[in-house]
Amino acid sequence: MTGAAGGEGASGGAGGAGPPDGAAQSGTVPVPTLNIANLLTISRLVLVPLFVVALFASSAGEAEGDGSAMWRYVAAALFALAALTDNVDGWVARKYDLITDFGKIADPIADKALIGAALVGLSMLGELPWWVTIVIAVRELGITLLRFWVIRHGVMAASRGGKAKTLAQVVAIGLFLLPLPAALDVVSWAVLVVALVLTVATGLDYVVRALRLRAATPGGAS
């Protein structure tokens, strides 16, 4: 789930590494922008506002003493469905040679929109400390800018750590979304701590890799 140069999701998304828009890997068959992989990515973007509405509806229902648990399950289900499309769109794009420039841009945007909306929403509801949201947001924004900084020198592929980070974030957010018993709060926080450690560690790893990439190319140190 990073910038246009490539994502960190479990699959790399519909915008994974591949040929330019309009050409399949064979170099002979045009790839339409409006394909199933990109439609899945677009569906993830569409699900984000629906998820936000359900999340805040749960807060309103709690204030009125009615329907809060139901809306939290709806919000969690929408979040899980949107996260699932991140796996599916990348698999479809690679298997059927449907990688496009649009997907390379839209996929990381959709990923960040989903995770960001969930984190900000939970923080606004007072269920997640703002410092957690800020740490993750700063890391994601920083890595995106870092990728653009080194894009002339090469592409930093998504690492296993980055994929593990994404999975941990999704699981942690899912646990915080569900109306679980208070006794299970320790589980939610344990997963969140793992996600935060991976978030910071992989962020530092990308900084080191970016510096090495620039230093290894002619004129990169300037």
Can you read off the two tokens belonging to residue 213?
């990439």
Q: Answer yes or no: is 28 within a domain.
A: no
CATH number at residue 91: 1.20.120.1760
pLDDT at 149: 83
Q: How far is CA 183 from the centre of its chain?
A: 29
Band of pLDDT at residue 154, cut at 50, 70 and 90: confident
Total count of domains within the chain: 1
**Stretch among 63-72, 171-180, 193-202 having the lowest mean pLDDT:** 63-72
Total-model pTM: 0.79
- Higher-pLDDT residue of 17 and 193 is 193
Q: Answer yes or no: is 140 within a domain.
A: yes
Q: Answer yes or no: is 179 within a domain.
A: yes
CB atoms within 10 A of CB 186: 9
Q: Answer yes or no: is 49 within a domain.
A: yes
The whole-number average pLDDT for the span 140-164 is: 79
Asked if residue 95 lies in contact with residue 12, where contact means CB atoms within 8 angstroms, the answer is no
- The string of pLDDT tens digits covering residues 12-62 is 455 554 445 544 444 557 788 888 999 999 999 999 999 999 999 987 756
pLDDT at 157 over 50: yes
